[in-house]
């Protein structure tokens, strides 16, 4: 019995501790981390220009200045960079400070050169016969006589369609906003001029502009220097021998005072070719609006009739001319802003 008890104790002493112990094991190692910022490449595309520029290898979260452009394109001026070839992406200036153009490692960002067309193509009005056209650059449409004088000639590139090309100096594209061109056969700069907005050329990346349409050319600016506020009656006479008048009952009131006692009105010369002034003191005779030429009328203050007119450098007198007149200047200098075809 005692031996059995001893053996039982020995067996229990070996089993019980093992039964209550837990299995446990582990394995160890080391993972080494190298954590760096993304790298990316900026490539420069000449976008039909010539030359070459090295890529820039850049690191994320670090500022850089873009390399200065060395591409060139004949007849065009470099106008910065764009992320899209057609200029619809994000713009960057030459040498602009940039940071984080992408967060994708090993990404390549391509910047396309933008080019301004240095040439403006325009079509002169069909009634212009001259093959000599001068171009004037200016900024303020109300101060056209500040334009540089004399203007630079434009080049006739299509005789039948009367399309001219004018090369704008790169420095003038941003300096001037508008352009005037005149027929150099006319003695006065104001004889025939049209304006176009230079800014359109900056939207263009090398396309040839469609011929421009002078939709508002047939208008005339009339200055009336008079100490009253007259109504202006406009109508159309078919021809000189025909007394058929249209639109006679269509008074239009001058509403823009331009100086101490002057008034200004712009007349559509396709709709009207005759006018007269009527106030409580004066009724002028019928006055013909000249077709193209500038004209200055003088009206006798006493008789209210035309007394003389100035045309082509010469004063022509009516019979009742005396030296007391109202002045009416009619000028073909209505500034027509041309809609750029889309």
Partner 1 sequence: MKKYIHFLLIYFVIFSFNIIVNTYSKYNNNLLINKSIAIAKWNIEASLPNETLDLVSGSNIEDYIINISYKSEVASNYIIKLTNVPDEIEVSLNNNSYISSNNNQIIIDVRTINSSKEILNIQDTLHFKSTLATPNLLNHPIQIEVIFNQVNL
- The least CB distance from residue 9 to partner 1, in Å, is 5
Cβ distance to partner 1 smaller for residue 39 or 130: 39
Shortest Å distance, C-beta 40 to partner 1: 10
Tokens of 79: 């106008």
Minimum separation from the CB atom of position 338 to partner 1 (A): 50
Residue 26 vs 280, nearer CB to partner 1: 26
Contact by Cβ (8 Å): 224, 252:
no
CB nearer partner 1, residue 38 or residue 290: 38
Q: Could you tell me the smallest distance in angstroms from the CB atom of residue 98 to partner 1?
A: 16
**Residue 122: closest CA among 162, 76, 167:** 162
Compare residues 109 and 287 and give the one whose CB is closer to partner 1. Answer: 109
- List the one residue out of 140, 85, 74, 137 whose CA is nearest residue 111: 85
Shortest Å distance, C-beta 3 to partner 1: 11
**Token reading at 238:** 């078919």
- Locus of tokens 């303020």: 140
Provide the 8-state DSSP code for 320: T
For the chain, first and last CA: distance in Å? 116
Residue 35 vs 323, nearer CB to partner 1: 35
Nearest to 58 by CA among 40, 45, 44, 43: 40
Residues that bind partner 1 (CB under 8 A): 2, 5-6, 9-10, 13-15, 17-19, 21-39, 60-61, 103-105
Report the candidate in 114, 117, 118 with the shortest Cα–Cα distance to residue 46.
114
Strand 107-117 relative to strand 39-45: parallel, antiparallel, unpaired? Answer: parallel
Shortest Cβ 6–partner 1 spacing (Å): 6
Quote the CA–CA distance of 115 and 138 in Å, as a whole number.
22
| Nearest one of 225, 261, 224 to 233, comparing CA atoms | 224
Q: Which is nearer to partner 1, 31 or 314 (CB)?
A: 31
């Amino acid at each position: 019995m005692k031996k059995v008890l001893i053996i039982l104790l020995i067996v229990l002493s070996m089993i019980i501790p093992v039964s209550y112990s837990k299995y446990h094991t582990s394995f160890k190692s080391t993972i080494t981390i190298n954590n760096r910022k993304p790298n990316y490449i900026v490539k420069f595309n000449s976008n039909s220009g010539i030359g070459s520029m090295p890529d820039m290898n850049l690191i994320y979260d670090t500022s850089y200045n873009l390399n200065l452009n060395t591409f060139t394109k004949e007849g065009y001026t470099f106008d910065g960079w764009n992320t899209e070839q057609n200029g619809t992406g994000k713009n960057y200036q030459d040498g602009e400070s940039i940071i984080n153009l992408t967060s994708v490692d090993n990404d390549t960002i391509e910047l396309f050169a933008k080019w301004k067309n240095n040439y403006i193509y325009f079509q002169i009005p069909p009634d212009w016969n001259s093959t000599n056209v001068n171009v004037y650059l200016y900024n303020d449409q109300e101060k056209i006589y500040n334009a540089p004088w004399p203007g630079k000639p434009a080049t006739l590139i299509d005789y039948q369609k009367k399309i001219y090309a004018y090369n704008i100096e790169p420095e003038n594209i941003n300096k001037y906003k508008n352009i005037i061109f005149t027929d150099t056969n006319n003695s006065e700069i104001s004889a025939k001029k049209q304006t176009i907005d230079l800014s359109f050329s900056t939207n263009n990346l090398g396309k040839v502009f469609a011929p421009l349409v002078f939709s508002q050319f047939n208008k005339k600016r009339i200055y009336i220097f008079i100490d009253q506020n007259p109504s202006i009656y406009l109508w159309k006479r078919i021809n000189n021998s025909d007394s058929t008048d249209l639109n006679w009952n269509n008074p239009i009131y001058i509403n823009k005072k331009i100086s101490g006692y002057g008034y200004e009105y712009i007349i559509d010369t396709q709709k009207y070719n005759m006018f007269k002034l009527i106030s409580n003191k004066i009724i002028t005779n019928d006055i013909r609006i000249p077709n193209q030429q500038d004209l200055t009328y003088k009206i006798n203050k006493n008789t209210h009739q035309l007394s003389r007119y100035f045309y082509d450098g010469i004063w022509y007198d009516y019979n009742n001319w005396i030296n007391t007149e109202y002045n009416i200047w009619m000028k073909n200098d209505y500034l027509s802003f041309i809609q750029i075809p889309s």
